[in-house]
Amino acid sequence: GIILYASGGVLFESGTSAIEGGFRPFLFRMADLLKRVPYKVLVEGHTDDVPINTPQYPSNWELSSGRASSVVRFFIEETGLPPQRFSAVGYASYKPRFELTPENRARNRRVEMIILKE
């Protein structure tokens, strides 16, 4: 499939799955692209390797899954894309795209959208 990803910068509010305002225009552009193709989309959430432990997110597993789910919910509720096209999964920090260094943490905090040609 084709992988589209957003990383670095502020995609979500710190320590939450709430989509940051600056990430919304990117997601609207992605929705425009997704409306042009009939394929299913797998949304993957990834975190850096800094542990989290809050009541809502006891680990990066929950945080990464929550962020992927927030993106799926955005596409469905905000852009009208059909829910049956989407799946969401979280990988915590266990599939880094970049070497695990303090400098690369922001780059490893990302969401990947994989367009699946079935």
User: pLDDT value at position 106?
Assistant: 87
For position 66, which CATH number holds? 3.30.1330.60
Domain tally for the chain?
1
Tokens representing 26 are 């990117």
Q: Which domain holds residue 59?
A: 2-98+110-116
What beta strand segments (E) does the chain contain?
2-7, 40-46, 86-90, 110-116
User: pLDDT value at position 11?
Assistant: 92
| 8 phi-psi bin (left φ>0, alpha ψ -120 to 50, beta other) | left
d(CA 55, CA 21): 24
In terms of Cα–Cα distance, which of 80, 65, 95 is closest to 31? 80
- Asked whether residue 104 is domain-assigned, the answer is no
**Sole residue written with tokens 């320590």:** 15
User: pLDDT value at position 58?
Assistant: 98
- Asked whether residue 30 is domain-assigned, the answer is yes
Walking along the chain (118 residues) 10 residues at a time, the average pLDDT comes out as 85 90 95 96 96 97 98 98 99 94 90 92
User: pLDDT value at position 117?
Assistant: 87
User: pLDDT value at position 7?
Assistant: 85
- Asked whether residue 94 is domain-assigned, the answer is yes
- Asked whether residue 49 is domain-assigned, the answer is yes
